[in-house]
Amino acid sequence: MRKQNNNRGNLILTAILSVIAFALVIVLCIQHGVFGNSGDSEPVSASTKENEGASKSGDKLVENTVGSEDLLSNAPAEFKFADGFSINGVDVSGKTLDEIKTSVTEAESANPKESVKISFVMGDDKVDGNAETLDFVNDLDSVIEAAYKASEAGDGNNKTYTSQWTVSEDTVDEFVHAALDSYVKEPVEPYASGFDTENLTFIIEESENGVSVNFDKAIAEVKKALENGQYDAQIPVETSVVEPKDTAEFLRGYLCKVSSTTSTTTSSTNRNTNIRLVCEKLNGLVIQPGEQFDFNKYIGERTEAAGYKEAGGIYNGALRQELGGGICQANAMIYHSVTKADLQVDTRSPHTWPSDYVEVGTDATVSWGGPEFRFTNNSEYPIALHAYYGNQKVTVEVYGRPLPDGMTIKLKGEIVSRTEAKVEYKADPDMALDEKVTEKSAHDAIKAKSYKIYYDADGNEIKREDYKDSSYPMINKVVRVGTRAEDGTIFKLNKETGETIAPEGYVPPTPTPDPDDPENIDDPEGNDDPDEDEPKPTKKPKKEKNEDPTPEPTSEPVGEDNGSGDAGEADNAGGADNAGGAEDNVPAPGPESEDETPVPQG
């Protein structure tokens, strides 16, 4: 009985120990990741995942896919190189990675940068390269990694390893360019430095040849020398002459007059003076390829100090005298000529109303602080402006490359629509009743378009392009009408008809006689009848007996007619004409009045 109890106790103890042992196994498995990551176990590192492709040597994994730095840092601490391994001539047999690092690094060859004395030879010239621009890198880490892998794998075929220096290819490029860039010379094209306005020819500076360097070959030769350890080498450099595209002789024979535009000015001396000043400033101006001409920027502000005079110009839809009036006619000639020279017009604005010196829709206004005019020389050759004024003619010509195949271009304009302007009446209580003065002249609203038309050498139209559109606003005629009567009474004005209307109940004052009027001079005999100015016929005397029946002479001679009444009416009529003559002082629409002056338009 006691023996059975002992056996039972042993079984229980065995079972308990088995459970404990099983639990310990489970804990160890969890700690070593046998059941994967779960609970509080540590995650698998990136390097552990990369070991999936590792090869097995004994019970250890040799990493194949990680970089040398990661591989060596994760190497087992107990690792030691197998017998017979050497790195950079240092025997590393039986040594750990930490033990070999210092000795192997000290044994590596010196950085060759200090030994580089490469130079370049170009004919009689020799140029030393600057080795400081080179960047050398040693592959020691890769060599140690290779030795480590071979030792781990038990590979005894290759046990001797030596690190080497290599140069960065990018720094070789920098090394070569730093030495040779200064020998590269771009060709100098013949250059138009000016324009002879008397001979009408460009002033051309001579061209110069350029020099090119074969950088690709020089870089390849330097790399080859460095790879072969030839640090003191002379590299021959290939150069070649680069000729300019054109010659001065070619340009002198090629550049010519491309276009010309002329228009007639007015007889206004001031206006023509302004036009002449603009032409003098423009004449001989050379604009290089790609350069932009800006009228306001180049001509400058039109001031009295600059010599400009007052002439008719548009301000807020009306004409007035302004400094620089008339210069738009010269600007319009530029616009036409650069268009006909097939150059790029960047900015152009029409006037407030059409100008009569060019076709409608082809004018171009400028004003200081207002409308601008700009164009760009978009050709591959220089252009020059030849501008001049004389005998009431203004001309602008463009010189440059000819148009192809004898082609010519014209600028044409036409009216698309017109809306008739109206008359607006404004009451003016400071003017005499019914007196009228025109404040603004009428201008119809006009929409116009222009065409750039190309012709061949025989004058046949080749093509027609829509060009710049123009919109001229409606400007109603504005007439000021006097509304103040002689007695100071202000009349009303019918703004549609211009008729003045007396206030309700208004009684015109009785006219005061003019004491100087002969009609109002009192008769010395007290006869106020104006008809008494004529001598009265004599009374027929009574016949007396035995008297001569022949009548006697009249008592007063017949007076002369001085026409005083008619003369007075004539004076009044003359006064009315003068009052209405204010509009005559405004320049009539025409070349003088069409141009903007340097003031903003309203």
- Tokens coding 140: 């020691």
599 in a structural domain: no
Residue type, 484: R
- Does one domain contain both 213 and 266? no
561 in a structural domain: no
- Cα distances from 284 to residues 95, 200, 403, 460, 572, in angstroms, run 88, 9, 21, 32, 59
- Does one domain contain both 93 and 128? yes
pLDDT tens sequence across 478-523? 999 999 999 999 999 999 999 999 999 898 888 777 777 666 665 5
| Residue 472: DSSP 8-state | E
pLDDT tens sequence across 370-382? 999 999 999 999 9
Lowest-pLDDT choice from 250-254, 314-318, 363-367, 427-431: 314-318
Contacts of 403 (CB under 8 A, 6+ apart): 258, 341, 342, 409
- Does one domain contain both 23 and 146? no
- Does one domain contain both 376 and 278? yes
Rounded distance, CA 116 to CA 175, Å? 11
3-state secondary structure (DSSP) of residue 534: coil
594 in a structural domain: no
- Does one domain contain both 311 and 396? yes
Residue type, 196: D
pLDDT at site 152: 87
Rounded distance, CA 153 to CA 473, Å? 95
Rounded distance, CA 378 to CA 235, Å? 44
- Does one domain contain both 101 and 195? yes
601 in a structural domain: no
- Of 246, 272, 293, the residue that ends a domain is 246
- Cα distances from 195 to residues 201, 388, 397, in angstroms, run 6, 14, 13
How many domains does the chain fold into? Answer: 4
- Tokens coding 179: 């030495």
pLDDT tens sequence across 564-588? 333 333 333 333 333 333 333 333 3
- Does one domain contain both 110 and 54? no
> Is 90 exceeded by the pLDDT of residue 261?
yes
Lowest-pLDDT choice from 28-32, 140-144, 198-202: 28-32
- Does one domain contain both 2 and 58? no
559 in a structural domain: no
In which band, very low, low, confident or very high, does the pLDDT at 274 lie, cut at 50, 70 and 90?
Answer: very high
> What pTM value is reported for the model?
0.62
- Tokens coding 532: 């008494």
183 in a structural domain: yes
553 in a structural domain: no
Q: How many CB atoms lie within 10 A of CB 287?
A: 22
261 in a structural domain: yes
What percent of the chain shows pLDDT beyond 70? 74
- Does one domain contain both 141 and 83? yes
The pLDDT of 132-156, averaged and rounded, is: 89
CA 576 from chain centre, in angstroms, equals 56
> Is 50 exceeded by the pLDDT of residue 431?
yes
- Does one domain contain both 335 and 267? yes
- Of 246, 268, 303, the residue that ends a domain is 246
- Tokens coding 372: 């601008």
- Does one domain contain both 265 and 289? yes
pLDDT at site 356: 92
What domain range includes position 405? Answer: 255-421+442-476
Residue type, 535: P
- Does one domain contain both 18 and 128? no
